[in-house]
């Protein structure tokens, strides 16, 4: 089963969820703004995505610009920030079988499904 880390206010996230529904792909929806992700969960997602934590940050968000822009941060600090400020998490994230992608644009999701 696929898991989508979803923000209903995000157009790209809604597109990914709609695609999964349209294609009748079994999935679980995690509303990560309501159910804050633990640091351990974020670490696991990073392993699935095979990226460094700074690549998961939405740097255009005002929270980032006001609190963290131009600061030297280590891996653990990025993970703590992502857990504490889930709005900064890039979306949508889709995972399955210890693999994952950021489904933006939607063609990333289509390629991911074809590979799995």
| 116 pLDDT higher than 90 | no
CA distance readout (Å), 54 to 60, 65, 88, 98, 110: 13, 14, 10, 20, 24
Tell me what percent of the residues of the chain surpass a pLDDT of 90.
97
| 17 pLDDT higher than 90 | yes
Q: Which residues pair with 28 in a beta bridge?
A: 3
27-31 sheet: strands from edge to edge: 27-31, 2-6, 93-96, 99-102
- pTM recorded for the entire structure: 0.93
Find the angle CA(22)-CA(26)-CA(31) to the nearest 5 degrees. Answer: 90
Pairing of strands 2-6, 27-31: parallel
CATH (one of 3.40.30.10, 3.40.50.10470, 1.10.10.10, 1.20.1070.10) for 2-115: 3.40.30.10
Domain residue limits, the chain: 2-115
| 1 pLDDT higher than 90 | yes
Closest by CA to 42, choosing from 81, 74, 92, 71, is: 81
* Average pLDDT in the chain: 96
CB atoms within 10 A of CB 26: 8
| 92 pLDDT higher than 80 | yes
Which residues are the active-site residues?
Answer: 10
User: Is residue 21 within 8 Å of 8, Cβ to Cβ?
Assistant: no
Tell me the C-alpha distance between 74 and 6, whole Å: 26
| 33 pLDDT higher than 80 | yes
């Amino acid at each position: 089963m696929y898991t989508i880390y979803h923000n209903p206010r995000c157009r790209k996230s809604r597109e990914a969820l709609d695609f999964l529904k349209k294609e009748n792909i079994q999935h679980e929806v995690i509303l990560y703004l309501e159910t804050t992700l633990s640091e351990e969960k974020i670490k696991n997602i990073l392993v699935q995505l095979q990226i460094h934590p700074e690549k998961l940050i939405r740097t255009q968000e005002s929270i980032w610009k006001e609190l963290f822009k131009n600061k030297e941060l280590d891996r653990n600090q990025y993970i703590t920030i992502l857990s504490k400020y889930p709005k900064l998490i890039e979306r949508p994230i889709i995972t399955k079988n210890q693999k994952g992608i950021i489904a933006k644009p939607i063609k990333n999701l289509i390629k991911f499904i074809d590979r799995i």
